[in-house]
Structure 1
Amino acid sequence: MSFLVALLLFAVLQFGIVGRYDQELRWAFTLRLALLFFAVPTFAALAAPVSLLRLGGPARWSAAADRVMHSRPVRVLGNAIVAPVVGLVLFAVLLTPLAAGIRESGVWAALITVFVPALGFTVLGPLSEPGVLRSSTFVTVEFLLAFVELLLDAVPGIVLRVSNHVLDGSLVHAVGQPWFPSPLRDQHLAGDLLWFIAEVADVPVLVMLFVRWQRTDRREARSVDALSDEEMAELTRAHLQRRG
């Protein structure tokens, strides 16, 4: 059901009003970009397609999926400390004159359709994978830093909303429908949407981090319970020697 929601949302973004006017209107372009990066990959990741492939897929594909999930690029991008920075950099482009050229280009529209959901899934997918485990100390630090960094995702939206001049430099009023807003009003609407989506998108990431922390804590608790008294005593002595 979650994967079906991801597909339906993707279809709406492609063929609905957002996909129809994303080259003319900043708010439509921003909404499409944000949902392709946040919402579509989140629902797809919650469906756990990679876990299904690793557990029930053909042996060759399962082994390939394991290698990919444990590869350095995926582990870096799937780190909850790095993931918010990726979103911040992506949406910071909307504050530059590059935004107008990207928005009005058909080539960029096609590239965004393919690569933005893939980037979002690469960032969010590992957070929901049970096989990607870290130490409890790292997960705790990751959670605390991610909580601060995830709030930074809203900065581009805030800047778009409070600025009283058009940041991308395109002052041509969009034509086609009587309800099209002025360039500045269009930018403010884009900022409102991006601000709201960035704040709401923090919730599933923090939930995934909490789930990861629970898994790591249970794994470490089981490993400690499996130790004999002699092994536990030796582990305690080694720990005290390092502290000393």
Structure 2
Amino acid sequence: MARPREWLVSVMHSRWAVAVSHPLVALPIYVFSMYVMYFTGLFDLALRSHAMHLFMVGHFLAAGYLFFWIVIGVDPTPRPRPTPPLRMLLVLISMVLHAFLGVAIMQSTTLLAPEWFTALPRPWGPSPLDDQHTAGGIAWSFGEVPALLVILALLRQWMRADEREQRRLDRAADRAEAEGVDDAHAAYNRMLAELARRSGRDPDRPA
């Protein structure tokens, strides 16, 4: 009988996992799910059905986990992660699209799920449409804070990766020098010098 770890490894290496972990798949799932939810009848359905509400929360949680797993996660992914600059670009794109969603809700003149909210017996406070505008403003402003924190974390990861790579190269050079063997950089420079000598050009002179 397969153990949980074996099941997890099997899922991680499945074609489905490879497909959904592609950045161009995970990004639309993460961003456009909110557009589909709030600008279709699904939002009204989620308000009226507890099961649909749970599905909405679970889907948003899974979509967010998938996207940030690819962008900033430390656990292995089914496919190689993009480079740090590309991951930062993905986060910036998600920020823009998320901000646009908040602005669209904030400036909308149509109430989302109008039958539900107009039926609420609330004589006090702002109107449902004013509440919706406030919610859009909150989504637009405060929703970008987590993305900015992710970008800062990505910058730190990028810097640490460069430092690790530089230390690796330094260790390789020290080991090659101790063993009396030229490292790859020295061999490459010597090859360039030899090619320049054969062509009759000074290797230290700019072309």
TM range (shorter): 0.5 to 0.7
TM-score by length of 1: 0.55
Distance 1:75 1:210, change over 3 A: farther
From 118, 135, 141, the counterpart of 1:173: 118
1:231 maps to: 184
| TM-aligned CA deviation for residue 209 of structure 1 | 1.6
Which structure: larger Rg?
A: 2
TM-score by length of 2: 0.63
Distance 1:130 1:101, change over 3 A: closer
From 213, 237, 240, the counterpart of 2:158: 213
The aligned amino acid for 2:18 is: R
The aligned amino acid for 1:200 is: V
| TM-aligned CA deviation for residue 157 of structure 1 | 0.8
Identity of aligned residues (%): 24
Structure 2 contact 30–67 (Cα < 8 Å) conserved: no
Task: Tell me if 1:101 matches 2:54.
Answer: no
Distance 1:63 1:102, change over 3 A: closer
Structure 1 contact 157–193 (Cα < 8 Å) conserved: yes
1:1-244 superposed matches below 5 A = 61=5, 64=8, 68=12, 72-73=18-19, 75-76=21-22, 79=23, 84-93=27-36, 94-126=38-70, 127-129=72-74, 138-168=83-113, 170=115, 173-179=118-124, 181-227=126-172, 228=176, 229-234=182-187
Structure 2: how far apart are the matches of 1:236 and 1:75?
40
Structure 2: how far apart are the matches of 1:231 and 1:223?
13
The aligned amino acid for 1:123 is: F
The aligned amino acid for 1:99 is: F
| TM-aligned CA deviation for residue 199 of structure 1 | 1.6
Distance 1:177 1:103, change over 3 A: same
The aligned amino acid for 1:90 is: S
Tell me the C-alpha RMSD between the 2 structures. 4.0
Runs of at least 5 residues in structure 1 that lack an aligned partner in the other structure: 1-58, 240-244
